[in-house]
Structure 1
Amino acid sequence: MMTKTLFFAFLITQSFVGQNIHFVDAESMEPVSFASISFGNGLGSFADANGIFLFEKKKYEDVDSLFVSSMGYKDLHIATNQLLEIYTMTLEIDQLQEVVLITAKQGKYKNKEIKPIAHSNYFHSWLPTVESEVAVLFNKIDNQSTKIATLLFPINIEESVGGKSSKTRDFSTMLRAKFYENKNGFPGNEINYGNVVFVISEKDNKELFELDVSERNIFIPQNGLFVSLQVLGTTDNKGVLLQTKKYNEIKTPRGIQKVSITFRPLLPFTNVIPGEKTFVRRIFFNDRKWQTFNLKYNPNSELIGKGYNNYGMGAKLHVYEND
């Protein structure tokens, strides 16, 4: 009788508390940090720094499969009705061979800067969600060996409407910078510089966030390097990624609609960069295909319609003389 009571208590606890799923490297058993977890319906989430994802059936009651991916590993497909505590992820040799390594340049260099373009207008800003990723291309300076030392991300902390700023709300958001080869003018194969993650809160600079990446030896290839920005989610006051639901469910006459939660900071887009230089994708939808941020991507976007179709990401560069 006692055994049966404890069993049912365990089931009730699991339904409310959920189950921690650990994703680890098959050889080293080290955590696969910040793995992407798609629910197969255009929505998803991420594991944390320890490779842990909390699956709660009550929170994700209509999710029957998890599709797990991470740079350099084979994808996993997991049924949620028979979850294990630990899943091992195997290195994808072919994918690793595609990465182009660039020898780090030594010696004297000149400091150059690609100026970021920032503003605080809410209506001219991109509203980030966890399924969205924004990328821009950086090229070598004068065809010389060029290293990205610092990334300069324009951000919008405050809401400014009609020149008036509203009260800044508290927030703490983890983001990730990623890097891609230039493949015919679009982001191509990802280049692995590790998990470049950082946290932005309302306490940071109002219009610009500087990210020092000088220790990662990020050199721009001959045909350029795409740098992207991606939201991972909300953190606690210690900067730890929280396992929160990344969308709201809203009752409508057509049934329950799932609407992605937007995160701060907003990303101010600009109308002063000529051409279409910004690329976006939804990482849990449409085969993660990159698209130019223009009216073909979203014919109803007021942001694009008004000409604010580029993100003015900047960078501080080290430019070395050619041998």
Structure 2
Amino acid sequence: MHQLNKYLTGVLICIVVSGFAQTKVLSNETKYPVSYATISFGDGQGIFADDEGDFIFTKKLYPDVDSLFISALGFKDKSIATVNLPKTIFLDTETNTLDEIVIRTTINKKFKKETLKPYLDDDYYKCWLPTIESEIAVFFANEDDKLKKITSVLFPITLESRDWKKRKRSNADKRAFSTLFKVKFYANDDGYPGEPLVYSNIVFRATEKNGDEFQLDVSEHDIIFPENGFFVSLQVLGYTDTKGKLLPNKKYKEIKGKSGTVKIPTNFRPLLPFTDEIDSYRTYIKRVFINGNNWVQFKKGNGIESSLLRTNLNNYGVGISYNIYKDE
């Protein structure tokens, strides 16, 4: 009976979704899908296209939205009205990006592997609650002039127990989730995230089965450690089905009050643990659905309202692994 209920629920979801207006984002040059394009509504709200460039938008879901702002790495931004929204939206390629040309560099040198470990924590109250309106970037300084290639990024995550009373037991059953994340690498622009170092989409799906850290292999992207350091960022795209397909969930809740309707961003699991064990302020945040919004250092006095800062939890403790090549 339980399996039948799950099946009927899945059928119902498919029927409901199929009734919505689906729009596809394509490259104007290649006619290929623009995977995980950002669909901004303004006022800090928006959604993402899936891996096939599809997203769902209707006036029933978003009655007060009259225009969309479409953006993606390697493409020119585009504004479009929601009235008579077309089934297909075409984006033009930015001429100054390298997303159409991939240069592979083979380094034939001996190397030593190094790892900067992530900072792990399973305390719910020391965690950032991810929303798709926020992107978190962490800075890594380059301590010497040796040639280094980034091979993997280690993202700490916090697992929650199904039973709150058993949360301190290591063997307690964990709360299930299946969440898709996008990862970006940025050059260091005078202490802030600057131009992207990689224009291809880097995404991964995390579940409770991955444990308290997710190791993302990025060796195929041939990212050489820049002389003045780099930023790596994490952004939640939303929940997925069991096959990793991004689900078209509504990304905020509407709460009606005396002064009008307030939109509250939806929090997604897993939670991201912050730490007070890093001396410098290496973490930066931005609200990705507000056009032109700048990165802000996650630090007291920068206009950020967060309980984490009040307890000096200033950094998301991402780790990395890299190869250090020997001089010949």
Task: Using structure 1 for the length normalisation, give the TM-score.
Answer: 0.89
Equivalences for 1:1-323 in 2 at 5 Å? 17-96=19-98, 103-140=105-142, 142-158=144-160, 164=168, 168-205=174-211, 207-285=212-290, 287-323=292-328
- Secondary structure class of the residue paired with 2:125: helix
* Offset, 1:70: 0.4
Cα distance, 1:257 vs structure 2: 1.1
Per the alignment, in what secondary structure is the counterpart of residue 18 of structure 1?
coil
Offset at residue 15 of structure 1 (A): 11
- Alpha-carbon distance change, 143 to 55 in structure 1, aligned in 2, over 3 angstroms: same
Equivalent AA in structure 2 for residue 130 of structure 1: I
Distance across 1 between alignment mates of 2:318 and 2:78? 33
**Cα separation, 2, equivalents of 1:16 and 1:283:** 28
Q: 1:289 and 1:167 mapped to 2: Cα distance?
A: 40
Q: Is the 8 A contact 1:138 1:220 kept in 2?
A: no
Shift of 1:204: 1.7
Alignment partner, residue 5 of structure 1: none
Deviation at residue 18 of structure 1 after TM alignment: 2.4
8 Å CA contact 1:151–1:213 kept in 2: the answer is yes
| 1:19 to partner: Cα distance | 1.4
| Matched-pair contact (CA < 8 Å) for 1:17–1:56 | no
SS at structure 2 position matched to 1:295: coil
Contact 1:118–1:154 (CA under 8 A) maintained in structure 2: yes
One-letter code aligned to 1:258: K
- Aligned residue identity for 1:173: T
Q: Say whether the 8 Å CA contact 1:181–1:224 is kept in structure 2.
A: yes
Deviation at 1:254, TM superposition (A): 2.3
What are the Cα deviations for residues 10-37 of structure 1, in whole angstroms up to 9, with x where unaligned?
Answer: xxx9999221111111111010100011
Shift of 1:143: 1.7
Quote the Cα distance in structure 2 between the aligned partners of 1:299 and 1:14.
Answer: 38
- For the Cα contact (< 8 Å) 1:38–1:45, is it kept in 2? yes
User: What displacement does 1:264 show?
Assistant: 0.9
CA offsets per residue over residues 238-288 of structure 1, 9 Å max, x none? 100011111111122322111001111111000010021111111012623
The answer on whether the counterparts of 1:122 and 1:161 sit within 8 Å (CA) in structure 2 is no
Structure 2's unaligned 5+ residue stretches are: 1-14
Change (3 A) 1:63 1:16: farther
Shift of 1:127: 0.7
Query: What per-residue deviation string (whole Å, max 9, x for no partner) do you get for residues 151-205 of structure 1?
Result: 1011101268997357532211000110101000110011224111010112221
Matched with 1:3 is none
- Work out whether residues 249 and 257 of structure 1, in 8 Å CA contact, stay in contact via their aligned partners in 2: yes
Aligned length: 309
Structure 1 counterpart of 2:279, one-letter code: P
Whole-Å Cα distance in 2 between the matches of residues 142 and 122 of structure 1? 37
Contact residue 160 and residue 167 of structure 2 kept, 8 A = no
TM-score normalized by the length of structure 2: 0.87
How much does 1:215 deviate?
Answer: 1.5
- 2:135–2:234 CA contact under 8 A, matched in 1: yes
Name the aligned partner's letter for residue 315 of structure 1: I
Equivalents in 2 of 1:16, 1:57: separation in Å?
15
Describe the shift of the 1:70–1:15 C-alpha distance in structure 2 as closer, same or farther (beyond 3 A).
closer
**Unpaired runs of 5+ in structure 1?**
1-12
Secondary structure of the residue aligned to 2:308 is helix
Cα distance in 2 between the residues matched to 1:15 and 1:211:
31
Per the alignment, do residues 243 and 115 of structure 1 end up closer, same or farther by CA in structure 2, a change over 3 Å counting? same
Contact 1:15 1:56 in 2 (8 A): no
**Secondary structure in 2 matching 1:49:** coil
TM-align CA RMSD: 2.5
User: What is the CA–CA distance in structure 2 between the aligned matches of 1:301 and 1:100, rounded to whole Å?
Assistant: 40
